[in-house]
Amino acid sequence: MFKKHKSKRVIKYAAIHGVPASEETKQKHLKKIRVSTKLLQLLLAVPFLLFWSTVIASLERTPLTGRWRMILLSPEEEDEIASHLAGPGWYKSVGDILAEEGSPRIIPSSDWRYEWVQDTLRKLEASIPVLSREPELCPNWMQSGPETQPLPPPADFPLRPRPRGSEYLRWFCESLTNKHCSKIPGGPIPGPPYSLLVVEKPDSSNAFSYGFGPNGGSGIVVYSGFLDDIFSRMPLQWEAPEPAPPSLWSRLFGGLFSKPTPLHAAPTAQQTAELAILLAHEMAHLILAHHLESLSSVNVIVPGTLSIVSDVIRVLIFPITMLFGPFVNDAVAQLGKVGSGELVKISEYCTSAKQEIEADVVSARYDSLSL
């Protein structure tokens, strides 16, 4: 910068005062000006190139829907999240979330409601591999008659685990060398079997999913209010259990010491289908790794972008704010923080709405293949 300014002054001084200068000297100073200009442009372009390179490198296609999304979390950060939530970590994290609403009452695993929800969830999990091999497992999806359930066409973007950058690089190199490489590598889908909690909360007819990764690092929380809504529309049936073979004691003294056999709940197929629709929606959030996307968007992308924009604006208006002292500059910075907080809330709402619609689409496909 200083050499460029000095070269400009030399050329300007020679032109004004008529100082003789050789053509070689002029070209030398002009070359310095051009080099300095290119260096300045390069310095200004480097941050933009790094920013857009990071954006492009973080783009990926969402499985099943093909929506472009950006996840700015490194594999190490993803592994750290998964290891933190694995095992009892998921229950601790979800317990902290539930504690914000008061003291939750967890329905024990021996309760018939928990067993019903768990059995339905495990049956849905068994159909997850179908989403990654729809053309093979559902080849006759168009040949559905009036009495059979219609099936969706195979997805253009089948369900596959998110490969690492090194796996992408290896796949790309093998493609360039004409080696056999039919698809991007990937292993089993992380997640199932999912963790489960059923919370006693009659006034909440809802559920939510949380977490990422295998070994119980992701799971679903179901509120009892949703189960109550199902049974309010379709009354619950109670059945007597199958009688056990009588023993010798019961044959001799059964009439004297026999106790009435307790009835057990028997949800109908329609009630189970209602529950499966809710569970499939929450499973779609886990399958599509929406938790990672929300973390990346709310905690990295939006705050980082707003911080850069606010710093640039403060630098541009600093010649004006410095005239009024440091208090005005601090007030402008505080105003930027408040505004960025509101923008983060708006971004979180938009991301959540987008993910809810996507989960509805994927759960409809999943229900048609599993129910």
Q: What is the DSSP string of 231-297?
A: HHHSPPPEEPPPPPPPPHHHHHHHHHH--PPPPEE---HHHHHHHHHHHHHHHHHHHTTHHHHHHHI
Residue 325 lies in a domain: no
Q: Do 164 and 116 fall into the same domain?
A: yes
Give domain status of residue 313, yes or no. Answer: no
On whether residue 324 sits in a domain, the answer given is no
How many angstroms separate the CA atoms of 294 and 97, rounded?
A: 16
**Residue 90 confidence (pLDDT) above 80:** yes
| Domain match, 30 and 118 both | no
What CA–CA distance (Å, rounded) separates 297 from 208? 19
| Average of per-residue pLDDT values in the chain | 79
Identify whether residues 35 and 157 lie together within a single domain.
no
> Which residues are 69's β-sheet partners?
60
The total of structural domains in the chain comes to 2
At residue 76, the pLDDT reads 79
Task: Identify whether 363 is part of a domain.
Answer: yes
Whether 50 and 67 map to the same domain: the answer is no
Task: Find the range with the poorest average confidence among 124-128, 236-240, 291-295.
Answer: 236-240
Neighbouring C-beta atoms of residue 23, cutoff 10 Å: 7
Window from 50-59, 200-209, 295-304 with minimum mean pLDDT = 295-304
Residue 106: count other Cβ atoms within 10 Å of its Cβ: 16
Same domain? For 41 and 169 the reply is: no
* Overall average pLDDT of the 323-348 stretch: 67
Residue 332 lies in a domain: no
Whether residue 35 is found in the same domain as residue 75: no
Name which of 316, 301, 280 is nearest 348 in CA terms.
Answer: 301
Q: What is the DSSP letter of 79?
A: H
Cα gap 149→141, rounded to integer Å: 10
Distance of alpha carbon 299 from alpha carbon 104, whole angstroms: 28
Asked if residue 164 and residue 38 are part of one domain, the reply reads no
Please enumerate in sequence order all residues whose Cβ is within 8 A of that of 279, keeping only pairs 6 or more positions apart, or say none: 117, 120, 121, 124, 207, 220, 222
Mean pLDDT throughout 180-200?
A: 74
What local confidence, expressed as pLDDT, does residue 340 receive? Answer: 60
Q: Return the amino acid letter for 330.
A: D
Same domain, 362 and 215: yes
Q: Is 46 in the same domain as 78?
A: no
Q: What is the mean pLDDT of residues 148-160?
A: 82
- Whether 203 is covered by a domain: the verdict is yes
Q: Of 73-77, 136-140, 175-179, 231-235, give the lowest mean pLDDT range.
A: 175-179
Predicted confidence band of residue 351 (pLDDT cuts 50, 70, 90): confident
For residue 253, being part of any structural domain is answered with: no
Residue 356 pLDDT greater than 60, yes or no: yes
Does residue 330 fall inside a structural domain? Answer: no
Question: Domain check: are 196 and 175 in the same one?
Answer: yes
- Residue 14 reports pLDDT greater than 70: no
Helix axes 326-370, 269-287, angle to 10 degrees: 140
- Cα gap 278→206, rounded to integer Å: 8
Residues 108 and 133 both lie in one domain: yes
Q: Where are the alpha helices (DSSP H) in 148-240?
A: 165-176, 224-233
Domain extent for 51: 1-8+22-61
Q: Do 230 and 288 fall into the same domain?
A: yes
